[in-house]
Homo-oligomer: A and B are copies of this chain.
Amino acid sequence: MVFVGFGFLMVFLHRYGFSSVGFTFLLAAFALQWSTLVQGFLHSFHGSHIHVSVESMVSADFCAGALLISFGAVLGKTGPAQLLLMALLEVLLFGTNEFVLLDLLGARDAGGSMTIHTFGAYFGLVVSRVLYRPWLEKSKHRQSSTYHSDLFAMIGTIFLWIFWPSFNSAPTSLGDTQHRTALNTYYSLAASTLSTFALSALVGRDGRLDMVHVQNAALAGGVVVGTSGEMMLTPFGALAAGFLAGTVSTLGYKFLTPILESKFKVQDTCGVHNLHGMPGVLGALLGVLVTALTTHQAYGDGLQAVFPLIAEGQRGATSQAVYQLLGLCVTMAFALVGGSLVGFLLRLPFLDSPPDSQCYEDQMCWEVPGECTDEAQVPLSVEEPDTRA
């Protein structure tokens, strides 16, 4: 079931046309195979064989998710060779980070607030920072959306919304824990949708809503409960978390993205900082908080499924919470350092980066049918013959 979740991350990026959807497809297929190998070496390498199973499919999906989030930050400004190199390295880093967090530190991160969203977003943002293009203005006219492309993107949003509860609950233990995760995700998503609409109308001109906010910020509720979804968050906690995530994300689109670009020289095409970065960090911190409040009587017999180390008496709740916080720091370190290194590698000249004036342009890499291309919007300088006189 969960396998579906990642697919729509692709559709969601539809609005920049063939390249978005095509390269997302390519990167996902590549990441699925490569991360099966990488995670196989790290997790299930027994006697020179890698054991594959449905769980390894789910892990590989999650890795592809993180890669696609990073892709969202550099979308339209990178060529296919750059993207494949980025995928190659990011999958390695993702696997190592996940191994450190889940296996070495024993942190819990079922829906991947840290491993997927925080890692993917900040990795992509740092790469985008290193690849900063001061003359991107030349391609600005191709960056806008159209009425139909917004509707396409909305299909992606609705799918993600619907499958997010399954996505977050996929790697949790069957039974009560899985149901709890799905319900928490669901309440959080519903709350973030409401707060997004409210905020978008509040900050909009004449109270008008902005489609970009609805497409993206409405999903922030799913990101924010990625870590704490399997824990005893309570429905009220999920609603509050979702409300907060929707608010932060919408305000981020409105106010933070322009500042990021002008002050910090980070060109974040899809706004992954608002949808994945900030809600991911919020979600990790929420996980720390909920972990610190863990008690034996709240979970009963279910404690073994969520916090095996606490149930076995090896750790207390506070100590587990410290490890969760440590997990967030490790993730940020991996994302920032890894992203910088990968970013500098991507600047190697033989990787065919598109020129500043050809960003967001399908014709660089695709055979495009005649009509309705972005090209058609470029004003033609018609020279009048005027051979009269």
* Chain A residues engaging chain B, CB cutoff 8 angstroms: 1, 3-4, 7-8, 10-11, 14, 17-18, 21-22, 25-26, 29-30, 32-33, 52-54, 57, 80, 144-148, 150-152, 154-155, 157-159, 161-162, 165, 179, 182-183, 186-187, 189-191, 193-194, 197, 201, 204-205, 207-211, 214, 218, 235, 239, 363, 365-373, 377
Contact = CB atoms under 8 A, between A and B. Distances in A.
A146 B197 CA distance: 28
A193 B32 CA distance: 11
A14 B52 CA distance: 36
A7 B155 CA distance: 10
A32 B235 CA distance: 13
A4 B162 contact: yes
Contacts of A214: 22, 25
A10 B155 CA distance: 10
Contact of A3 (B162, B363, B370): B162
Contact of A369 (B8, B147, B239): B147
A8 B161 CA distance: 12
A18 B186 contact: no
Contact of A186 (B57, B158, B369, B377): B57
A21 B370 CA distance: 23
B208 A367 contact: yes
Contacts of A239: 33
A193 B366 contact: no
Contacts of A157: 25
A159 B10 CA distance: 11
Contacts of A147: 17-18, 368-369, 371-373
Contact of A148 (B148, B154, B197): B148
Contacts of A154: 21-22
A29 B190 contact: yes
A300 B18 CA distance: 47
Contact of A209 (B190, B191, B366): B366
A370 B150 CA distance: 12
A151 to B, nearest CB: 6
Interface centre among A26, A201, A205 (most CB of B within 10 A): A26
Nearest to A7: B162
A32 B151 contact: no
Given A7-B159, A208-B366, A371-B377, 16 more contacts: A1-B1, A7-B162, A11-B155, A21-B154, A21-B158, A22-B154, A25-B161, A26-B193, A33-B187, A54-B183, A144-B370, A146-B369, A147-B368, A147-B371, A209-B366, A210-B367
13 contacts: A7-B162, A11-B155, A33-B191, A52-B235, A80-B201, A144-B370, A145-B369, A146-B371, A148-B148, A148-B372, A155-B155, A208-B363, A209-B366
A92 to B, nearest CB: 18
Nearest to A235: B52
A149 B122 CA distance: 35
B11 A158 contact: yes
Given A3-B162, A151-B17, A211-B18, A367 B194 contact: no
A57 B150 CA distance: 29
A29 B193 contact: yes
A13 to B, nearest CB: 11
A210 B363 CA distance: 11
A26 B214 CA distance: 9
A382 to B, nearest CB: 19
Nearest to A194: B29
Nearest to A50: B235
Shortest 7 CB-CB contacts between residues of A and residues of B: A29-B193, A147-B372, A7-B162, A29-B190, A32-B190, A33-B190, A210-B367
